[in-house]
Amino acid sequence: QVQLVEAGGGLVQPGGSLRLSCSATVINGYTFRDYAMNWYRQGPGKERELVASITASGGSTNYADSVKGRFTISRDNAKNTVNLQMNSLRTEDSAVYYCNAQRTTRALILINYWGQGTQVTVSS
């Protein structure tokens, strides 16, 4: 079981910045560093999309094309946190942002845990 709590959402003007954080509590036989971490987002009437990913070690990251160069995902395995620094925000970035923890079992089954989400609104 992994409990995830997001924070840092809010209202920001276009071109502004926000930093989202996700605090993880791992209450099974694994540790935070056993999980890849992802940020997803879902805007009104839209499908949930993967925004950014970071491997369990933090050694590799991936981003959606729409946010490359503007968003940065990072993790601190000592603090059990993952962050999403969002710069040069656009109105189309408005969405509920969800923190996701993912572990792959020995049988190659993907185990996912989700936070409740934090609202990001980009508007002038």
Average pLDDT, the chain: 96
Residue 9 has pLDDT above 90, yes or no: yes
Distance CA 35, CA 17 (A): 27
pLDDT tens per residue, range 30-77: 999 999 999 999 999 999 999 999 999 889 999 999 999 999 999 999
Question: What is the 3-state composition of the chain as percent helix, strand, coil, each rounded to the nearest 5?
Answer: 5, 55, 40
Q: What is the pLDDT of residue 28?
A: 85
Q: How confident is the model at residue 109 (pLDDT cuts 50, 70, 90)?
A: very high
DSSP three-state, residue 16: coil
Q: What are phi and psi of 93, to 5 degrees?
A: -80, -10
Q: What is the pLDDT of residue 7?
A: 97
Contact residues for 65 (Cβ-Cβ < 8 A; gap 6+): none
